[in-house]
Structure 1
Amino acid sequence: MTSLVIALLLGSLSALVMFPAAQHLRSLQGGERAQATLHTAGSCMAGHCSVEFEADGRTVVADLPVGSGGGKESVGADMAVRYRADDPQVVARQEDVGGGGAALLAWGSGGVALVFLALSVLFATSLARQRRN
């Protein structure tokens, strides 16, 4: 039963959080490019970082999305970002617009979910055979 719960949680993480995050990052590949500085450091993969940059002559502070890298950078670190021209609050690090860590984590957690699902099926069939005998 525990294996099934773990499989469902990891599968949900992969399908509902990480795959959409990777798609969002990829959607910014054609965005406007700007030089930014890390404004708030934290767990960037969880979406707890923000950057400061110039867009259309004004200073913008925007949160990096879930799945971003750069969590080991310290506040003030320079980095290139891509942002939507019509909404500069939608931004991602240049290095992440290919899907980056979000895509890797999505595939990894999906694979581990399948392993736990297989373990659940094996355990259930083993239990059913024991009860039949």
Structure 2
Amino acid sequence: MAALALLATVYAVFLPAAWARTELRGAEPAEATFHAGTCILGRCSVTFPFHGEEVTAGLPLGTRARGHAEGDTVEVRHAPGEPGRVALAEDTGRGTVAALLAVPGGATLVTLSAAAAYVRRDRRTEDPADPANPA
């Protein structure tokens, strides 16, 4: 049961992250200032001009900083009219989305393999037809 809860959590985190990047693939480009943090956990941000104002927006969970440091200029894509929905332009490619979708896929295979091994083990211990010990 714990494995299913963990699997559900993996899907709840990685599918929206992949979807957000897919939606922003052709969105408005902008030059932004990178603010460091733990990007993989969604704790880094960028500041960029939007309609004459400076907007600071958090980058999505799973962002790979790729060696960017505090203050670097990076290219981002933001949703039209929604500057809070932003991703690094280099993070909106098909490879990134595929990698984000591979995590839940791999987690599903591991969970199914573990469940099959558990069921197979239980069947062996319940097998009454033991030729070494006739009833």
TM-score, normalization: structure 2?
A: 0.81
Structure 2 residue aligned with 1:123: 118
For 1:107, the equivalent position in structure 2 comes to 102
Match of 1:57 in 2: 52
Structure 1 length-normalised TM = 0.82
| Cα offset, 1:55, TM superposition | 1.2
Q: CA 1:71 to 1:44, structure 2 compared with 1: closer, same or farther past 3 Å?
A: farther
Shift in CA distance, 29/102, structure 1 to aligned 2, threshold 3 Å: closer
2:8 pairs with 1:12: yes
How far, CA to CA, are the matches of 1:32 and 1:74 in structure 2? Answer: 23
- Hey, what does 1:97 align to over in structure 2? 92
Structure 1 unaligned segments of length 5 or more: list them: none
CA distance in 1, matches of 2:97, 2:26: 18
Secondary structure of the structure 1 residue equivalent to 2:64: coil
* Cα deviation digits, residues 56-80 of structure 1 (max 9, x gap): 1111111011122216422101110
RMSD in angstroms over aligned alpha carbons? 2.1
Identity of matched residues, %: 34
Change (3 A) 1:65 1:99: farther
Do the aligned residues in 2 keep the contact of 1:45 with 1:101 (CA within 8 Å)?
Answer: no
Question: 2-side partners of 1:58 and 1:42: how far apart?
Answer: 23
Contact map agreement 2:58 2:84 (CA 8 A) in 1: yes
Q: Deviations along 1:51-108, whole A, 9 cap, x unmatched?
A: 0111111111110111222164221011100112211111110011125545414313
Does the 8 A contact of 2:11 with 2:104 survive in 1? no
* Cα distance in 2 between the residues matched to 1:97 and 1:74: 20
| Counterpart AA for 2:15 | F
Assess if the C-alpha contact under 8 Å between 1:25 and 1:96 holds in 2.
yes
Aligned residues: 128
Q: Which has the higher contact order (CA 8 A, sep 6+)?
A: 1
Tell me the residue number matched to 2:80: 85
